[in-house]
Structure formats: structure tokens, C-alpha cells
Amino acid sequence: MLRAPDGRRIPVSVNGSVLRDRNGNLDGVVFVAHDLRDARRKLAEAMALAEEARVTARDAETRAMALEKAHRELREVQGKLVQSAKMSAVGRLAGGVAHEIRSPLAMMASTVEFILSTGLEDKEMATEGLERILVECARAESVIGNVLDFARTPGAESTPIDVNEVARAVAGLMRASLVKGGRRRVP
């Protein structure tokens, strides 16, 4: 260490060499001093940068772990939402299927009740009622087939129907619920 005129200590690196004459006798000594303040400042800066890099790496690792956890939780919530949407769709589908199957069953029950109540006296009416039951069975089978087709394909397809045909079928079934004597029978 050297001292500056103001008394501050200056870190130095000193190298020396002995000078000899041709006969090998000591002729002098040369000393070279290097000021180490700049090197120490650069070393301190490098150490500070290394510590900052270590802290940054630790923070990045912590953030990466937190991000992985959040991603895992997001996938879980997404899975639950998808499952919930599936269950909701199944519920709506079940309600629609129940409604679509209940109608043919109600028509068949009404027709059977009428046939039983008339004691099969009117063979033509009984035959017409039994044919209507077969039509409604086919309708229920069609609904079930459509549900099965929907389960196998990515989307449901709608099929156009003849509204007049449906109205005639309902009128035929309603005629079967009328009883003799002008009274109306409601099953």
C-alpha cells in the first residue's frame, strides 16, 4: 500500500527487478507499482453483478415454479369446466329425450285405454288405434336412434318434418279419445 499526500491509502501491486552490470555486479533495482483501485472497483462491480445474477436466477426459478403451479391449477379448473359443460349438455339432452319419448308413450297409452274401454266393439277403430301405436313406437325408436347417432358424431343434425302429417296423426289420436254420447274422455 502506498499513501497519497492527503493520507489516503492506495492499493498497489509492486514488481521489482535487480539490474546487474556486465560483470554481474549489482547496478540497481527497478520497482514498478500498479495502482489497483481501478481493478478492485471492477472486481467489486463484477461481484455485485454475479450476486445480482444469482438473485435473478433464484427469482426466475421461483417464478417458473409459481407459473408451473398456476398452469397446473388452470388445467384442473379447465377440466372441471369442461366436465361441467358436458354434464349440463347431458342434462339438456336427457330432458329433450324424455320429452320426445313421453309424447309417443302418452299417445300409445291413450289409444290403448280407448281400445280397452270400448271392449273392441269397433274393429275399425281398434285397428286404427293399433296402427297409431305402431307409428308412435317407430317415432320413439327414431328418437332413440337420433340420440345414439348424436353420441357417435360430433354434432346433431336436424331433419325437416311435415307438420301437416304430425297434425293429422294428433287429430287421429284425439278422435280415439272421444266417447259415445258426445262426452269427451280425457285420459
* pLDDT tens profile 20-38: 999 999 989 998 888 888 8
The Cα 61–Cα 150 span in angstroms is 48
Query: In angstroms, rounded to a whole number, what is the distance separating the alpha carbons of residues 141 and 95?
Result: 17
C-alpha distances in Å from residue 7, one per residue of 1, 2, 10, 37: 11, 9, 9, 15
Phi/psi-derived region of residue 10, left when phi > 0, alpha when psi is between -120 and 50, beta in every other case: beta
Contact 157, 118 (CB under 8 A): no
Task: Kindly report the pTM of this predicted structure.
Answer: 0.39
Instruction: Put residue 57 in one of left, alpha, beta given phi > 0 → left and psi -120 to 50 → alpha.
Output: alpha
**What residues form DSSP beta bridges with 17?**
30
Per-residue pLDDT of the chain (187 residues; tens, 9 = 90+): 778 889 888 888 888 888 899 999 998 999 888 888 888 899 999 999 999 999 999 888 888 898 888 888 888 888 888 888 888 887 887 777 787 788 888 888 887 887 777 766 777 877 888 888 888 888 888 888 877 776 665 544 567 887 777 777 776 666 655 544 454 444 4
* Cβ atoms of residues 129 and 115 within 8 Å: yes
β-sheet bridge partners, residue 116: none
Q: How far is CA 129 from CA 3, 37, 93, 176, 177, in A?
A: 123, 112, 30, 7, 10
CA pair distance 138, 118, nearest whole angstrom = 25
The pLDDT assigned to 42 comes to 92
